[in-house]
Amino acid sequence: MIKIINSKDISLEDIFIRNLSLPDVSGQVAEIIRNVRKDGDSALLAYSELFDGVRPEPIEVTEEERREAFCSVDPEFIDILKEAAENIKNYHSRQIQSGYVISEKDGIILGQKVMPLEKVGLYVPGGTASYPSTVLMNCIPAKIAGVQEIIITTPPGKDGKIRPDIVAAAEIAGADRIIKCGGAQAVAALAYGTESVPKVDKIVGPGNIFVAEAKRQVFGAVAIDMIAGPSEILVIADKESDPAVLAADLLSQAEHDRLATAVLITDSAELAQAASKEIERQLSALPREEIARASIENNGKIIVAESVEAAIDIANRIAPEHLELFVDDPFKYLNRIKNAGSIFLGKNCPEPLGDYFAGTNHTLTTSGTAKFSSPLSVEDFVKKSSYMYYSMEALNAVSGKIAYFAEKEGLHAHALSALIRSKRQRAGD
């Protein structure tokens, strides 16, 4: 059963199990990356055969395969994908940034230009699971940003094909290419390029421990979105809350992964007991009971706090990925919340609403990183350059100050660079 504890009896740092003893796969991943860099497509095909049991040829999904896959998907699901995509577009279109120009002083122009990345790689998990929502959440902000080419990599099935719902989501979201490849080898291909896979500027998207480690190792050759940890949910609930609904919301994340963490903080000991019983009742009916039960029993907790305000203080220290504020007047407390990946306000806002449909992004900060980082957004797919222009007169007015500053730092060539134009101008006169 899930543990019930008093907030006074536990270290807040231990509420979410974040320093997990995971296998060290760095050596294996480094070898995979080396081989892909050396052998290109042949390495991709060999690893696909080794790990997925198939050599997908051609390695890229063809236009005909894309059409066939799209047509095989249930039309009702196509309509749902399209509606979700519109919601995501509507939300993320507000995130578009513009450059600016400052020309307040004679002869001086300063500015910033915002430019989309040229190529982005999107890793989509495959195998036994299928996540078309990942395609929408990562691809649509990139398209809005103006990325010129979006390449999806995802593991093929035993038949050498990509799951049709992934292909359908890619068509709706506007992905340019789909590569039948997964694992660390796909990350390596995106980072360094092969005969069939172009080198990209940034890799985004979730994956298993091998994918996460590969992203860590290729960072620097390319940008990455984040190194995501196991899924987290923290629910703050007042004493009037429905324990059955709370249990369902907690289990929605526990079923993701044995390492996922689901935590309820409430101001009612009675509600804590009722929620615990509901979790047990609902667990037995879940198809993924084994996974969810391991998450609940090893990492799950119900914490009894003195008040909703005290619960929020705990939440701010934890900085969870998903935070449900399960109270009747959530906007009363919204400004008190300082650290959370995504905030779900009120009793009619389950976490899966954000996963699939509302329009906010579900690629979120985990492992406490909400204290200093943000959900995936359009901003993740642009870069910025500053620029400046000075007339000769404007430079002459400040060159002495620049040289003085440079001399203070012992950088004499800097000082000369600042002064030489005016010196040569005077010599010419």
Q: Which of 321, 324, 351, 362 is catalytic?
A: 321
Q: How many Cα atoms within 13 Å fall on the side-chain side of residue 146?
A: 11
Q: In Å, what is the CA distance from 407 to each residue of 185, 401, 423?
A: 50, 10, 17
Alpha-helix residue ranges (DSSP H) falling in 255-307: 269-283, 289-299
User: DSSP state, 219?
Assistant: B
Residue 296: both structure tokens together: 């609940």
SS3 129: coil
User: DSSP state, 347?
Assistant: T
CA 137 to CA 409: how far, in whole Å? 47
- Whether the CB-CB separation of 168 and 69 falls below 8 Å is answered with yes
User: Which amino acid type is present at position 369?
Assistant: T
Residue identified by tokens 């999806």 is 152
Burial class (CB in 10 A: 0-12, 13-18, 19+), 224: buried
DSSP secondary structure of 358-390: SSS------TTGGGT-----GGGGEEEEEEEEE
CA 233 to CA 341: how far, in whole Å? 10
Length in residues, the chain: 429
Q: Which of 92, 255, 256, 322 is catalytic?
A: 322
Residue 287: both structure tokens together: 């198809």
Single out the residue of 206, 52, 214 nearest to residue 125, CA to CA.
206
Is 412 annotated as catalytic?
A: no
Strands 100-102 and 108-116 come out as antiparallel
CA 42 to CA 90: how far, in whole Å? 41
Q: In Å, what is the CA distance from 417 to each residue of 98, 110, 391, 420, 426?
A: 32, 20, 15, 6, 15
Is 322 annotated as catalytic?
A: yes
- Whether the CB-CB separation of 376 and 137 falls below 8 Å is answered with yes
Q: What share of the chain is helix, strand, coil (3-state, %, to 5)?
A: 50, 15, 35
| Neighbouring-strand partners of residue 121 | 151, 203
Active site (catalytic) residues? 321-322
